[in-house]
Structure 1
Amino acid sequence: MIIHIFDSQQELNQTGAGIITALIQTKPNAVLGLATGGTPVGIYEELVKNYNLGRVSFSHVKSFNLDEYVGLPEDHPESYRSYMNHHLFDHVDIQKDQTHVPNGNAADVDAECEEYDARMADVGQVDLQILGIGHNGHIGFNEPDRELTAGTHQVELKAETRQANARYFPSMDDVPTHAITMGVGSIMKAKSIILIVRGADKAEIVKRALYGPITTDCPASLLQTHPNLIVLVDKEAGRALVE
């Protein structure tokens, strides 16, 4: 585990984008595991800048997103497909048919989950997986529980997770109740993982995830067992790590 604590958001964003850019420069057909939410936005902005400066091409890159809401139309502004188009895909030369986001409107969600895992298996292995962390320690939408699922699956979102995402919707009633998510097994198969965390409200869960007991009550704690974990945190999120 390598931990970097940054004094500024710009430094964090540039470092995260630099790691991804360097990977693609050395392996143009890299497979990226992508995340959504507020946490990676600045990194995606830096990747777009690097592309516009001619430092990187995404033309042979494949991507797989962690998750998607169930029942939200693909073109809904808060769908994760819309998010990825808005923040990254529409601004670089990636081939859209090589970008994969779970289909939250599939007639058979269980079959969609199996097909998503099969598509990931076809590419061999994700080279770099981007992750955030929820206030309860979830990664993707793998919520704390007595046991966790290895493969892609449908989950019912916990109240605290829906509340955290409510800021993106007109009201709580509009926040989806279910999502499709990669399982912890799928996440842990990646060659490298970047965990990105921002804000003082995440300080305690970051410490618990990285230095607490490894338990399904804190799914992010399983990352302690990954052989190539890079942690990028701002000074507020990392304050409990240096106490």
Structure 2
Amino acid sequence: MRIVILKDDLAVAEFGANYIIESINKKPNTVLGLATGSTPIRLYEKMMIANQTKRVCFKKVTTFNLDEYLGLAVGHPQSYRYFMDHRLFNHIDIDKENTFVPNGASDNPIADCTHYEEYLREKGGVDLQLLGIGSNGHIGFNEPGSSLASRTHIAVLSKETISANKRFFSVGESQPHLSITMGIGTILESREIMLIATGANKAEAIKNTIEGPVSSSCPASILQMHPYVTIVMDEEAAKSLRNIDFYKYTELESQKFMLSQYK
């Protein structure tokens, strides 16, 4: 597990965007796993700029989103399909036919969960999965107590998650309590994973993810079992880590070593 601690959320977005851009430039037909929420917004802005300035091309890229609210129409302003279209897809040269988001308006969501897994397999699986993290340690909408081997499924949102996301819905507007989400087992099949976290409200979850036991009480802690994980955070999100000085030292020494290989 690579731990990268940066000054602020802008630096996290810059690092994350560059990481994804480098992956696409190495493999133009990359399959990306994408996340929603407030944390990746700046990262997506930087990816848009990179595309518009010809630093990266998305024409051969395929994307799979982690999750979607159950019961929201595709065009609903709070649906994650709407989010991805307006925050990224509408502004880059990606083929919309290659952008997959779970269908929250499906008449048969259980069958659609199976189909989503099939689409993933048909495309060869995710090369690089971008994750955010909830303040309770959830990844995707896999809340505490979720199976660590789960596949794409219908998930009940925790009261904490519903409360955290309430700000996105208008007063009196019905807020979904269910979602379709990639399971933890599905996420772990990604060849590489990058999790980004910013803000003091994520500090406890980050501590439990990196330094706590692997447990369903903090779903993100399962990332300790994946061979290629990079966790990128700002100083606020890192402030509860017991071994923060060691992580900073390790990253610095790793960079020195990599630089030495190119001399």
1:58 maps to what in 2? Answer: 58
Structure 1 residue 68 corresponds to structure 2 residue 63: no
The SS at the match of 2:237 is coil
Q: Is 1:31–1:61's contact at 8 Å kept on the other side of the alignment?
A: yes
Please give the alpha-carbon distance, in whole angstroms, between the structure 1 residues aligned to 2:146 and 2:50.
43
Please give the alpha-carbon distance, in whole angstroms, between the structure 2 residues aligned to 1:129 and 1:91.
21
The SS at the match of 2:216 is coil
Structure with higher Rg: it is 2
1:23 maps to what in 2? Answer: 23
1:174 maps to what in 2? Answer: 174
Report the residue type matching 1:92 in the other structure. Answer: I
1:232 maps to what in 2? Answer: 232
2:109 maps to what in 1? Answer: 109
User: CA 1:172–1:23 in structure 2 vs 1: closer, same or farther (change >3 Å)?
Assistant: farther
Please give the alpha-carbon distance, in whole angstroms, between the structure 1 residues aligned to 2:107 and 2:154.
13
CA shift, 1:171, in A, is 3.5
Please give the alpha-carbon distance, in whole angstroms, between the structure 2 residues aligned to 1:186 and 1:135.
21
Q: What does residue range 1-243 of structure 1 map to in structure 2 within 5 Å? A: 1-145=1-145, 147-148=147-148, 150-171=150-171, 174-241=174-241, 242=244
CA shift, 1:239, in A, is 1.0
The SS at the match of 1:25 is helix
CA shift, 1:105, in A, is 1.0
Q: Is 1:70–1:176's contact at 8 Å kept on the other side of the alignment?
A: yes
What are the ranges of 5 or more consecutive residues in structure 2 without an aligned counterpart? 246-263
Please give the alpha-carbon distance, in whole angstroms, between the structure 1 residues aligned to 2:35 and 2:98.
16
- % identical aligned pairs: 46
Q: Is 2:45–2:87's contact at 8 Å kept on the other side of the alignment?
A: yes
Please give the alpha-carbon distance, in whole angstroms, between the structure 1 residues aligned to 2:172 and 2:3.
35
CA shift, 1:205, in A, is 1.3
What are the ranges of 5 or more consecutive residues in structure 1 without an aligned counterpart? none
CA shift, 1:9, in A, is 2.3
Q: Is 1:162–1:172's contact at 8 Å kept on the other side of the alignment?
A: no
Please give the alpha-carbon distance, in whole angstroms, between the structure 2 residues aligned to 1:140 and 1:195.
11
Equivalences, count: 243
Please give the alpha-carbon distance, in whole angstroms, between the structure 2 residues aligned to 1:159 and 1:211.
25
CA shift, 1:148, in A, is 4.3
CA shift, 1:238, in A, is 0.7
Report the residue type matching 2:95 in the other structure. Answer: Q
TM norm structure 1: 0.97
Q: Is 2:191–2:228's contact at 8 Å kept on the other side of the alignment?
A: yes
CA shift, 1:12, in A, is 1.3
Further displaced range: 233-242 or 165-174: 165-174
User: CA 1:146–1:154 in structure 2 vs 1: closer, same or farther (change >3 Å)?
Assistant: closer
User: CA 1:146–1:31 in structure 2 vs 1: closer, same or farther (change >3 Å)?
Assistant: closer
Please give the alpha-carbon distance, in whole angstroms, between the structure 2 residues aligned to 1:213 and 1:49.
39
The SS at the match of 1:72 is coil
Q: Is 2:148–2:222's contact at 8 Å kept on the other side of the alignment?
A: no
Report the residue type matching 1:2 in the other structure. Answer: R
CA shift, 1:175, in A, is 1.5
Please give the alpha-carbon distance, in whole angstroms, between the structure 2 residues aligned to 1:60 and 1:191.
18
